[in-house]
Each structure stands twice: as structure tokens, then as C-alpha cells.
Structure 1
Amino acid sequence: MKNSGITFLSVVHSYDGDVEADADPLNPGKKRDKSRYVEDDDDDDDDDKLSEVAISSGYTAEYGNALGGVVNSTVRSSTNGGYQVRGALASESQIRVDGLDVGDQFLGGFKKKQPPEDLTTVKTRTNFNETAFFYPQLLTDSSGSVILDFTIPEALTRWKMTAFAHTADLQTGSIERTVVTQKDLMLEPNMPRFMRVGDTMTLPVKITNLTKNVLKGAVELTLLDAFTMKPVSAEFGLGTSARLDFSAPASNATTVQWRVIIPENYQAIVYRIAAKSGDFSDGEETPIPILPNRMLVTESIPMWVSNVAGGGNSTKKFTMEKLKQSASSPTLKHHKLTLEMTSNPAWYAIQALPSLMDFPHECAEQIFNRFYANALAGQLVTSKPRIKQVFDAWKSSPDALSSNLEKNQELKSLLLEETPWVLQGQNETERKKRVALFFDLNRMSNEQSIALNKLSKMQIGNGAFPWFSGLGENRFITHYILAGFGHLSLLGVKTDDPIIRNITSSAILYSDRAANEEYQHLQKMKNFSEDNDYLSSSAIMYLYSRSYFTKKKVKDHAIDAFDFWKEQAKAHWQKRGLMEQAMIALALKRFDIKGTPEEITTSLNERSLTSDELGMYWKENKSGWLWQEAPIETQAILMEAFDEVTGNSKAVELMKVWLLKQKQVQDWATTKATAEACYALLRRGADWLESSNLVEVNIGGKTLDPKSDGSSIEAGTGYFKTSWSGKEISPNMGDITLTKTDKGTAWGGLYWQYYEQLNRITPHTSPLSLSRKIYRKTVTSNGVELAVISPASPLKVGDEIVIKLELRTDRDMEYIHLKDMRGAGFEPTIQLSGYKYQDGLGYYQSPRDGSMNFFISSMSKGTYVLEYPLRVTHEGVFSAGISTIQSMYAPEFSSHSQGDVVRVGK
């Protein structure tokens, strides 16, 4: 049995004590002041302090199978005129009703005439607090006793009392006791968490008789409007059947039930149940929310258009089929249609630059990237004055520098405050808003100087860099920093500073020496042969970083090793990953080795995929545990290779599309990814930042003019948003044409919001898709079997069902919210929120009253299946709603399942 309460530390010094309580009936609303803690007579004269006392209610009632083997997992509001505590607190009292044979009365109570009972005088229980009291500091009186004065709540359940005491000299002790509150005649309704309009359901109530005689009487269910408290039983299909007769055997229980149909026009009801048999009575009164059978559905399609060749217009057409066919549904009501477009998303990469200023850890890589960001910003300000103008415009716009997690709240399935990602959204916004400082030339110069001096001090005497100060030399970090200085040099950033020259010269000498030591170690190996494959990741990174400094000659002592690693790269590149192959191609090209670099890029080109939306990419470019398994950095180096080795400008422009599309659905949260992506976008191919034309949009045969219709246009990105409401929306608006008149790419989304009945909602798919199936779980001699539910085999109360949700995505995505609605006649067996891992996907699962919610921080492209169990708790016909999934970072990527109706019982 589950209980809430206090967990106490082990007793260090103990002394004896006792707990006393009256066994008199506890009447709700009346105080009890006779529970007493008694001190041991042998104690000294020091005052004892009973420092913590609490009574907390249990969460489950341990009554038997009176409902055919199903016990409601949560004690509902149950209230009653006066319960008894049987026995003293020092012992436990509980009632079990096992193996009850429920007869015809289970189907609705007895119809036989009984003497009329006046149910209007029955007091109903309404106080279901789960904590009776908590007294953090109590002192004993002169007799060594503590008197607890409290009013017990009205729940029929088991309670646990815990107490901890200590004396002035720190002697300690603790006690724990349980008690059951009950009545001679008890009502235990099995009510749902919520009801939904249009559902038909059965409401069972167990009537327990603890006396030694048969109790015959009447029980009545009254339904009230929760806001006006006026009776509405008739509207729910209850007439004369609201009052039933019952007969409860001695020391046993019986069950009655009512069938109700949930009407419209009510947001919540209060159910009031009263039962009476002679001098015995009980009643309970609690509200239940009513959910509508219509919901606001948001459907969206991502839209894009790319003009990588330039010199002409590029056009792309899109169709939202369900919007075009919306007139066929008599119950569908348009709410809102929203179109948003970003004409030049290349600026989003520039917005990411301030994140490089953040280095929460004093490691060499992040200190270097702080220098890198400031040096790059300085170069941008001097070479592209328009960037400074655009950033100044962003500073005056409240939304331009907001995180994608914080934008478009009205188009998302959940407010950001209701997700685990509030801090991530705030952090990204804060990073972007630091652009106010980012382009201050004086600040940039000062930050560069600080970072460069820190970096110089971290460099070990042999020229290597550690990861953190005090650690040993790290070849990867040294090569990474060396290649970073090479990037800056190619971007036109001045690197002739004496400190930079000293850092790079020392790092080059170390790199040559380390490569030579690795070669000499190999030569000492048994069966060493230069024809074997010894090409390590460190050696590849060495050749790549060293290739930026070809004017620095390799010292004589390392020349053999240098030649050896070049030959290894020529011979064994086929067995390496994408990033390493691109590094080898670049290094060999810069070392003026013919043939192999072109062979590598040809192979890479043959293995690439190209699409209108995603541009050019590689299926195997996935995240992993190794430094070379980083998709953003890999794409950036592949762009570098295609640009330098083959001069394939079209491929470079297509690869830019993929790189930017990752920014659409992900936050470049790491300094390495941001640095490499910004370098690739600014250094390689055409300058997309020069684009200033807005993408042309034609919707429903009409061309939009955001400049004249009052839409706010964001500087740089050319972002704008336009909306239509209600009767302004027509089916022909499902046809959209985008035209890009200058070089680059543009993207956006069309969002259609409408109200529809749950059972009429049909599936909607996108690049992020979702489907749901409901299975009955059975245990056979062959093990557990799952069968899809169907009208031919309806569910029964007590059945366990399994919900299977299949997710598909054609790209890596972050910050995904999945919501699976639940019918009113089902109860989740998973009650606690927590992180889980299933089918290769990690997520946070959170059960709520009407749905199960999944929060997925990161999801790689692929297919995943999530499943969770439910228990059938009520008979009836229930709308199970739909399942929805949406990227909180890019809400245009969304999907939902069909609406399901589930039948339980006859």
C-alpha cells in the first residue's frame, strides 16, 4: 500500500514511549484531542521535544475484489458522516472483503419495494485532504505527554502516523502507526478522473456493510452543475432510475451502478451519492470535469524553396489537401490560418555566433572558441557593414532574438512553461540577446586579448594543449585549435599577432613530434609492414590541421613519419568515416598529391542523397560517441572538401541547404558545431547574406504583399507572418506557390487550426509522422499476446490494454512533444513521471488526467515505437481522442493520428 509521509533517519539513542487514542467514533468536522504520546517514566527531568508529527493518507484502499477484481488505483473523494477508529493507534485496524459473489444487484440494484428512506438528511463527505496534520514542534507537558488536537479528514482509507522525538541531550526516538477510518455503512464510488461529451458510461458504487446484520435501504445518485449547483441528473439520462434499492449482506458488500450519457453544455458536474439503511448512512460529494468531444486541431505543412544556381527564379508548389477538402465536413469549423516565411535563413547562423562567447568550462576548446567568435565577429563588422546594421535592427525587435522554443506559442500543442525545456528556451534567448555586446569593437578586441592570453598560458612547454589546465597533453585538442587558427586565416582574419605565431609554431612542432612518435612506436611492433593499415584518427586529424600550414616545413627528424602518414591516408581512406575521408581529401590536396583527393570526393558524391527540401546530405552522417561522429561538423568539412578539391559550387550550395535545415529544427547548442557551421556558411560558396529579396508567396490564387498588409518584416532574415480567421478562410487557400528570386534558400510553414469532433478527425502526416494502435493484452500458455481491439471483441472491465505509438522522422530533430489522449473509462498503470528509454529513444514521460505526455529532447532520423499500458475501469462507449506530435523548436513539423472510439462491455 502506498502512503505519503515523512522518512526518518535511523534512531541514534532511543527511549521508550507509547501512543494512546480513544476508540470513540470520529465525526467529520469535529476536533479530536485525545491522542496522546506518553514519555517513559525513567527519563530525567529534561523537557522532551516531539519535533515532527504527521499523519498522511494512503493513496490506495486495500479493499478486496467487490468490483470483480478491479480496485480503483486512486482513492477518490469519499466523504461521510462519522467514521470510527477501531482500536488504539498502537495497533492497526482494517477491513477486507474478499471473494464476494456479486449477484444480480451488480447490474443496477434491487427493484423490490423497500420502506422509503429519507436520503435528504444524509450528510455527505466532502473533505478528502491527504494530510490530516503536520506539527513540526511539540513539547511534552509536566506528565511527559503530548496531546494532538486535530480534525480528521473524511476519506475512507488507511492512515499512517509517524513521529520523531528528541531530548535536550539529543536522545532520539521515532514511532510509526497505522489506522483505518471506516463506517458501518460505506459508499465507495469508482468514479472516472473526467468525463467527455458524447460518451456513454457506467458509474459503479460499492456499498460495504460492516455490521453483523443484513442492511437493506436506498441509494441515490444526484448530478449537479458544478457552477450553479442545480440538479442536472435528467440531462444525463437519470430519471427515476437515479434512486435504487440495495441489500448488503452482513460483513460483506454489494454493488450498484448507473448508466449515464454525457451531454453538451457542461464544463463540470458534482456527483452526490447518498445511501441509508435505518440508522446507518453514508454519502459522498465531489466534482468531476467534463471535457468537450471537439478539439482545436492544428495541422501544418513545412514549405521551402531553394535557388542554389542563381540567375533566375526558382518556384515550388505546395498543397494542403485536407484544407482543400474541408467543406465536406458539416461539423468542421475554421479557426485560424497562419502563414510564416523566412526569406533568408542564413542569418540564423549569424544569430548563433553569440553562443560562442559562452564557455561555462575553462577548457582549451571553449576558450579558443571564445577567441574564434570575437575574431570572426570583428572580421564580419569590417568586411560586411550590413551585418552590424541588421544586428542593430534585431536589438529593437522583441521577437527577432527570441529562442524558437519561445516563438509562436499560439501554434504549439503545449505552452513552453508546461514542458521540461523552459530553461533551454531562456538560455538560447539570452545567448542571442548578447548581440548588443557582440559587435562592440572595443569589447571584441579586449575579449580576444583575454582569451588569447588564457590560451597561451594553457599551452604546455612542448607545444601541446591539455583539455583542462593541469591535465596532460591532448593531441585532439591541439589539432583542433591548430585547425581553428587555419580557418581564421582563410577567412581573412589577421593571425600575425606574436602570441598567435608562437602558439601555432609550438603546436606545429608538437604535432610533428607526436606523429613521429606514433610512427616509431609502430615500427617497433612485431610484423610491422608499411602496407598494413595503421591509419589512426589522430593521424588523420594531424594531416588535416597540418595542411593549413604548408609553408611551415616539417623538420628532418619527422619527415619520414610525415610521408608515412600521407601514404597511409592514400591507401586506406576507404575504411574511414565521412568526416575523416573529407579531412584526408583536403590534406592530400593541400600537400599537392594528385588523384586521391578527387577519387575521395567522387566517392562521397556517389554516396550522397539530394532532395528539393534538404539539399545534399549523407544518410550515414549520424551522431555518435566519437569526435568524428558529429553531423554538423561533418557537413561543414564535407563542404570544405567539395569546394577546395573539385570546385563543385552547386554541391556546396546544396550542402548549405542541409546545414541550414538542421538549424530549423535544432539549436546548435555546442560551441564546436556553431563554429564549424558558421565557418562553412561564411567561407564556402556564394554569399547568401547578401540576399535581400522577400520570397514571393501566392496563396489561393492571390499574391501576398507583406509590406502593404501591415506584416512586420524582420531585418536580415526577411521573416514575416500573416494570419486569416474564421470566414476569411476558404478551401482554395490550400494551394500555395513560393518563388525565390535571388540566390539562397527560404523556408516557412502553413498552419491550419480548426475545431472538429474527435471521432471525425483523420490522420495528418508530415516529415515528422505518428500513428497509434490500441491492443488488448492477454497472457496465454505461449506468453504475452497483443491483439488489436475490434468491435467483434469488445473490451471488459479489468482488461489491460497497450497503446503503441509509432514515430517516424526523416531528419534529426530536437524538443519534440508527443501527447496521447485517453478515454474516460481507462486508467494509466504508470502513475509517476520520469525519464525512460525505449526502442533506442530517451524521453521524459508524464501522465496527466486526460492524456499521456512524452517529451523527447533529441531524436535522430528513423522509426521508433513507444508503448505504455492502461487498465479498463468502466463500461461504456468512449472517445479515446487522438495522438499529436510536434516539434516545439519548429512547430511547422507536426502530425496527429485518427480519432478512436472504444467500446467496453455489452
Structure 2
Amino acid sequence: MPAISNPDDEDAISLMSAIYANTITTYIQKNLSLETSRLQNQVEKLRKLQNNDGSFSWWKGMKGSRYMTTAVAEMMVRLNAIAGTQKSISKMLTSAINYLSWQTAREVREMKKVEEKKHKVSPSEQALHYLYILSMDGRKMKQNLEADKAYLLDKMSKMTGDFSIYGKARAAVVLARNSQQNAAYREKAGEYLQSVNEYAVYREEMGRYYDTRKALYSWRNYKIPTQVSVIEALQMLKPNDKQTIEELQRWLLMSKRTQVWDTPVNTVDAVYAFMKGNESNWSRKAENAVLKLDGKLLPMPQDSTTLGYVKTEKTGKASKLNIDKKSDYTAGEPSMQSLSSLSAKSVPWSRASRCAVSSFLPNLRARARRRRR
């Protein structure tokens, strides 16, 4: 998270990602004094990018868009889901939802016109995101907007071959969250999730992932939204299937090792996938990993922080590194790993961290250094 907490750019995505990271850091450490002027300034800068109609502009001076507003609002509702309702962004979120509701109402009107001509209609991707935002937020809408929501949910529950893997996983979450409105939605959500699982590929070293055209790429990444959405759907519908969830998380972690999470949104997505459902572990102290270089214990500096990482350097040649991971958090490597043919003048290694969100970031930084040397 440190990589996105102090962004170089001041566009809406970068600012909201920074607010997300800094707020979660404050929440994990249970230290309100960490809510610094930097976080307050980031909130204020984001507020200036919101227009009178509730839409967000990507950059200052640009027109607001449904796409950008959806991306920002989605991060907001996910932040609230992890760290509780954030007063600092609540008014912005309300305005954004009002704008998206207006945009969606226009789409619904057009869909109904097409239906009158006996043509098949399906909700757009933006409408699917809108339903997700509403289902995560949970607020009660005005009667006409609730009717639009019900209309779209009904259409979504009847879509089958029209969805990508990402779409099915996201639809499963939305339908499950609205199952009180219609009991059949829960069953349909399960069907979508079952269909998603049929496309999964498993490799022990890489974990579980989706090697198919139905796992779409986008400007944001190489399949990360698909992976995160499937993890979220499993956590909601099959929370006891921890093995599958951890296998999916393993691929997400390994993808950072090989390709990097190259946008703020990807990083926010990944953090959400690791943190949601693991809230009880955040304050639990995990036993440190034991590292041995050529059979000799590699001493690590004592660390008093909750987030971040520590490193140590060993000068000289080394042929084998053993890592015994003591915690049960998802990590990039198996519990015990042997790395052969390591020979470097100065090799930094990382120690397992104490909380879920930092348990994967430190190890990856260390491995990245090894690969570069």
C-alpha cells in the first residue's frame, strides 16, 4: 500500500486510491492520529474533482463521466466495507450515486423502448457496476430508482451466455446481496459461481486462475478484476471453501511477482481481495518466518511497525535459502522453499509481516530485488 498512499498524480483514480490506502492503514493500526493532513488534503483534492451533478472528472478541467464516477464510487463502497462508513467521503459518495442513478435511469428507459419492439435487452457493464455499488452501499433509494434497480436485477438474473467470467462473478455477488428481495437470486448466484469454477485452471506453483478468453483483459490489467471478483463471490457464497480462496489469492500474489500490479486500481483491487473476510486477523500477531542461508539462521532486525517491511543484507556467496513461513497468511511461496544457485554480493531478504495486507507486499519486494541482481 505504500506505493499508492502518496501518489505522484492528482487525478481522481490516484487520489481515491491514496485515500483508500491511507484510511486502511489508519484503521489497521487503530491510531486516529495517523489521519494526517496528507489524507485530509487528498480528500479535499478529490472533492474538487467532483462536479455539481455528482460526476467525477478524471483530471481538473475535464468533463465528468459515468465511467470515472463509477470507478471512484466503487472504491468508496469497498473502503466502507472494510473500514466502516467514512464520514470524510460520505457526501461525495451520495452525490456520485445520485449521478449514477440518473444515468442508469436513462439507460433503463432506452432498454424498455427497445423491449417494446420485441428485441432482447441486457444491462450494460456500467449498469452492472451500478448495481454492485448499490448492493455494497445498502442504502434505500427513491421508489422510481428502486424500480429501475429491480428491473435490472431481473434482467441480470436471466443472462447466461452473455457474461464473461468477470461478469458472472460480479453478478453472483450482486444477486446474493439482493436475495432478500427475491429468494431465487441466491440460487442463481450459486449457478453463476459454479459456472465460473468450471473455467478455472490449477497449478500448484501458480494457484488457481482463469486461462480463457472469457477472463477478459482491460486497460486496468491482465485479468486482475476477474480474479478479485471470483474471490469476492466465493467469500460471500462459499466462505468455508478456504482452500479455493487461498489458491485464487496465490495466483493474485504471484501475478505481482511476475507482472506487477501496474495501476492504482489494480492495487486497490488486490488489497481488497486479501483483506475482505480477514478482518479478525489484522491485529493478530503472527509468528515470524525463519530464514536460513546455507543452513545457518539469518538474523532479522526487530520490527515494531504493523505495515511495511524489514530487510537484512548478507555479503558473500550463498547457494541455498530456506524459508519456513510460520503464519497461515497467504504468501508468495510455499511454507518451506529452497532457492538454488543464489550468488550475490548483497542480497536483501524480507521477513513475514504481522497482518494480512502486509504479509504479501514485503516478500514480493525482497524477491524482486533478488531477480534484478
1:616 Cα deviation (Å)?
1.9
Report percent identity of matched pairs. Answer: 20
Deviation readout 1:121-147 (Å, 9 max, x if unpaired): xxxxxxxxxxxxxxxxxxxxxxxxxxx
The residue matched to 1:610 in structure 2 has which SS? Answer: strand
Residues 694 and 720 (structure 1 numbering): CA distance in 2 closer, same or farther, change over 3 Å? Answer: farther
Matches of 1:605 and 1:442 in 2, distance apart? 44
1:746 Cα deviation (Å)?
5.4
Matches of 1:697 and 1:556 in 2, distance apart? 64
CA RMSD of aligned residues (A): 3.4
Contact 2:12 2:59 in 1 (8 A): yes
1:517 Cα deviation (Å)?
0.4
The residue matched to 2:247 in structure 1 has which SS? Answer: helix
Instruction: Choose the corresponding residue for 1:599, options 191, 210, 220.
Output: 191
Matches within 5 A, 1:618-637: 618-620=210-212, 624-626=217-219, 630-637=222-229
1:529 Cα deviation (Å)?
4.1
Residues 596 and 641 (structure 1 numbering): CA distance in 2 closer, same or farther, change over 3 Å? Answer: same
Partner of 1:467 in structure 2?
58
Residue type of the partner of 2:151? F
The answer to whether 1:382 aligns with 2:52 is no
Partner of 1:674 in structure 2?
267
Matches of 1:527 and 1:446 in 2, distance apart? 55
Residue type of the partner of 1:376? I
Matches of 1:442 and 1:564 in 2, distance apart? 45
Deviation readout 1:719-765 (Å, 9 max, x if unpaired): 7777885xx97xxx8xx9865444133536624279xxxxxxxxxxx
Instruction: Choose the corresponding residue for 1:512, options 101, 107, 118.
Output: 101
The residue matched to 1:359 in structure 2 has which SS? Answer: coil
Residue type of the partner of 1:357? S
Matches of 1:574 and 1:890 in 2, distance apart? 44
Aligned residues: 333
Residues 541 and 529 (structure 1 numbering): CA distance in 2 closer, same or farther, change over 3 Å? Answer: farther
The answer to whether 1:361 aligns with 2:16 is no
Partner of 2:347 in structure 1?
none
Residues 650 and 581 (structure 1 numbering): CA distance in 2 closer, same or farther, change over 3 Å? Answer: same
Matches within 5 A, 1:572-721: 572-592=159-179, 593-620=185-212, 624-626=217-219, 630-647=222-239, 648-685=241-278, 687=281, 690-695=285-290, 704-707=295-298, 711-712=299-300, 715=303
1:658 Cα deviation (Å)?
1.5
Partner of 1:566 in structure 2?
153
The answer to whether 1:501 aligns with 2:86 is no
Partner of 1:547 in structure 2?
135
The residue matched to 1:575 in structure 2 has which SS? Answer: coil
1:891 Cα deviation (Å)?
5.2
Task: Report the TM-score, using the length of structure 1 for normalisation.
Answer: 0.34
Residues 713 and 467 (structure 1 numbering): CA distance in 2 closer, same or farther, change over 3 Å? Answer: same
The answer to whether 1:458 aligns with 2:53 is no
**What runs of 5+ residues in structure 2 fail to find an aligned partner?**
180-184, 344-366
Deviation readout 1:382-408 (Å, 9 max, x if unpaired): 17xxxxxxxxxxxxxxxxxxxxxxxxx
Residues 721 and 659 (structure 1 numbering): CA distance in 2 closer, same or farther, change over 3 Å? Answer: farther
Partner of 1:485 in structure 2?
76
The residue matched to 1:607 in structure 2 has which SS? Answer: coil
Matches of 1:529 and 1:556 in 2, distance apart? 27
Contact 2:323 2:338 in 1 (8 A): no
Residues 694 and 718 (structure 1 numbering): CA distance in 2 closer, same or farther, change over 3 Å? Answer: farther
State which drifts further: 534-543 or 466-475: 466-475
1:655 Cα deviation (Å)?
1.8
Residues 364 and 595 (structure 1 numbering): CA distance in 2 closer, same or farther, change over 3 Å? Answer: same
Residue type of the partner of 1:563? A
The residue matched to 2:202 in structure 1 has which SS? Answer: strand
Matches within 5 A, 1:699-848: 704-707=295-298, 711-712=299-300, 715=303, 740-744=325-329, 745=331, 747=333, 750-752=339-341
1:574 Cα deviation (Å)?
3.5
Contact 2:216 2:226 in 1 (8 A): no
Residues 492 and 360 (structure 1 numbering): CA distance in 2 closer, same or farther, change over 3 Å? Answer: closer
Contact 1:635 1:655 in 2 (8 A): yes
Residue type of the partner of 2:98? L
Contact 1:664 1:890 in 2 (8 A): no
**What runs of 5+ residues in structure 1 fail to find an aligned partner?**
1-352, 384-440, 755-887, 895-906
Instruction: Choose the corresponding residue for 1:525, options 114, 120, 130.
Output: 114
Residue type of the partner of 1:637? S
Matches of 1:666 and 1:595 in 2, distance apart? 36
1:379 Cα deviation (Å)?
0.8
The residue matched to 1:524 in structure 2 has which SS? Answer: helix
